[in-house]
Structure formats: C-alpha cells, structure tokens
C-alpha cells in the first residue's frame, strides 16, 4: 500500500482520541483512548510502574488505519497471565527475559481485540509482522499478546507464534424474568447461601445503590480508592491504580461506569466498580 508505515506512538496522547477510537471495534470501554489515557496520566501504567507505553500505529497515506495497545514490560505483574516460570528458565539459561513486549490492556483480563484495524482485517497480518519487527528493533526478548480474540489468535498462529491457552468463567443472562428466576437455576445449597447473605445485609441496615452516568462523580471514585487498596492488600498485594485514575474514569467515562455502593449510617463501607458496553457488564473491582 502506497504511503504505508508503522511507527511507535509512545504514550497514548500521541494520537487524537477520535482517531484512536475510530479503530476500536464496537464499544468495548477498556480499549478507548480515555481508559488508556487515564492509566497513563494517573501514573498507573508508566515506565516507573514497569509499563512503558509504546502503542504501535499503522498509517496509510498519513492517516491512522490500524493500531495495537503496546507496552514494554520490566516485570510480569498486573497481566493476569503468569509467565514467571518462563522468566526464571530464561535467566537460568543465561538469557534476559525482561524487558519484554506486551500487547494488552493493563490490569485488565477482559478478552477483546488487540489488533485494532478499524474493521479492515487485511491489515491484521501487517500488525502481526510489525510486532515481531518492533521486538527485534528494540532488542527485547519476546512479544506477548494477552486476551486477544480467537480470530486474532489464528493470525498469530499462522505467522508461527506459540499459542497459550487459558480458561475464564463468564456469566450469561439466559433471559431470566427476575432474580428469583435466576436463583431457581442454582443448587439448593447455593440458593440458601445467597438468600442468607442478602438477609444479613438487610439486617445490618445497609443502603445498597446502583449508580450510573453522572451519579458516578470524581469524589465518589476518590472515596472508592481506599476500598480498592484494602481489597488488594487482602488478596494480591501490589496496588497499581491510583486515586487519580479513579477520578479520571469518572470525569471521562462516567457513561461506561456502573458502581454498586453499600453505605452504613451514610458511610461508604463497600463498593463494586463495573464497566459496561452495549453487550456486557465487566466486573472489575
């Protein structure tokens, strides 16, 4: 194609939001310019945290035609894919595993496109080859693509890449009339557990609300951050997401947020952050 070229953007601010978002199929929130920008501008996904933004862009005639969300990683944390064994084996053999190249959305195990072609699948092979060439040019150990689509996996396999298989559990709405209809599909023991938990929440006098759109304010998201930190401390360790990230989500993506809050005597004691698009609700924290 005449005037075709691949280049690294660096931070996502290197491209206008409208140009990037035009390449993203559907309305998946995690690939939007606003989400990636919030991660970078807040200090959550930066060189200092081991996520150096590179972002691969394909231009044709000077216009953006395809892209890959791309990072140089100095570790394997925050990926929800654990390749530490590979890293250790590489180093025992005298190799250097880090930095590596990663096409993914930071801290987000949601499957979705990683080869953003704006609907022109003919460009997918160009991006696959571009990832390999970028790895060689930067003298990195390897390229990884996390949680891509099945069609994209076929493009990578055809180019000689190794496939890594994983399992996820997704909940589907089977046309339930109401919550009781859903409960009826569960085992008796599970139904009893859920009903007991709901009674206990009610007995405590908790006020539980589901907030969307302009109900999700920056101040609410700032109040959410300590709950996020407490969850990370109990379960995983290593909190990457900053207060500024949550505030930016509210400022820039309130239309994609669904926040469930629990208050006791007016005090926020628990919350769940979800993102949504036209087809799915993504429970994140």
The pLDDT of residue 233 is: 79
When pLDDT is averaged across residues 112-117 and rounded to a whole number, the result is 96
Tell me if residue 69 falls in helix, strand or coil: coil
Taken in order of first residue, the domains within the chain and their CATH numbers are 4-158 (3.40.630.30), 205-283 (3.40.630.30)
Q: Which two tokens stand for residue 101?
A: 């190249």
For residues 232 and 103, the model is more confident at 103
Tell me if residue 102 falls in helix, strand or coil: strand
pLDDT at 4 over 90: no
**Tokens 């206990």 -> residue:** 200
Strands 281-283, 267-276: parallel, antiparallel or unpaired by DSSP? antiparallel
Q: What is the rounded distance in angstroms from the CA atom of residue 149 to the CA atom of residue 213?
A: 29
When pLDDT is averaged across residues 262-270 and rounded to a whole number, the result is 95
When pLDDT is averaged across residues 137-147 and rounded to a whole number, the result is 97
Say which DSSP state 245 is in.
H
* Per-residue pLDDT reduced to its tens digit, 174-215: 999 999 999 999 999 999 999 999 999 889 999 999 999 999
How high is the mean pLDDT of the chain?
A: 94
The pLDDT of residue 2 is: 40
The pLDDT of residue 1 is: 42
The pLDDT of residue 237 is: 63
Report the Cα 242 to chain-centroid distance in Å.
15
Q: What is the rounded distance in angstroms from the CA atom of residue 57 to the CA atom of residue 157?
A: 22
**Span of 7-16, 65-74, 80-89, 219-228 with lowest mean pLDDT:** 80-89
Residue by residue, what is the 3-state secondary structure of 110-136? CCCCCCECCCCHHHHHHHHHHHHHHHH
* Per-residue pLDDT reduced to its tens digit, 122-132: 899 999 999 99
For residues 283 and 68, the model is more confident at 68
For a pLDDT cut of 90, what percent of the chain falls above it?
Answer: 86
Q: What is the rounded distance in angstroms from the CA atom of residue 172 to the CA atom of residue 179?
A: 13
**Phi, psi angle pair for 91, to nearest 5°:** -70, -35
Contacts of residue 220, Cβ cutoff 8 Å, sequence gap at least 6: 211, 250, 259, 261
């Amino acid at each position: 194609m005449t005037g075709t070229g691949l280049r690294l953007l660096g931070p996502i601010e290197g491209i206008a939001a409208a140009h990037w978002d035009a390449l993203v199929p559907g309305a998946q929130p995690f690939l939007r310019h606003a989400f990636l920008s919030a991660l970078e501008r807040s200090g959550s996904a930066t060189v200092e945290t081991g996520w150096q933004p590179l972002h691969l862009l394909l231009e044709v005639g000077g216009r953006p035609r395809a892209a890959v969300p791309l990072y140089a990683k100095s570790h394997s944390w925050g990926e929800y894919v654990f390749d530490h064994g590979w890293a250790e084996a590489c180093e025992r053999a005298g190799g250097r595993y880090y930095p590596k190249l990663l096409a993914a959305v930071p801290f987000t195990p949601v499957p979705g496109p990683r080869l953003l072609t704006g609907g022109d699948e003919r460009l997918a092979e160009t991006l696959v080859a571009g990832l390999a060439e970028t790895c060689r040019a930067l003298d990195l150990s390897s390229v990884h693509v996390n949680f891509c689509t099945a069609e994209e996996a076929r493009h990578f396999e055809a180019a000689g890449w190794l496939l890594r298989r994983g399992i996820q559990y997704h909940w589907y709405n089977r046309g339930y009339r109401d919550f009781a209809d859903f409960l009826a599909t569960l085992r008796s023991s599970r139904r009893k557990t859920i009903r007991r938990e709901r009674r206990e929440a009610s007995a405590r006098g908790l006020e539980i609300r589901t907030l969307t759109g302009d109900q999700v304010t920056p101040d609410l998201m700032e109040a959410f951050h300590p709950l996020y930190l407490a969850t990370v401390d109990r379960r995983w360790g290593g909190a990457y997401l900053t207060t500024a990230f949550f505030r930016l989500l509210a400022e820039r993506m309130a239309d994609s947020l669904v926040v469930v809050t629990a208050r006791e005597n007016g005090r926020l004691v628990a919350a769940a952050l979800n993102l949504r698009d036209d087809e799915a609700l993504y429970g994140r924290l």
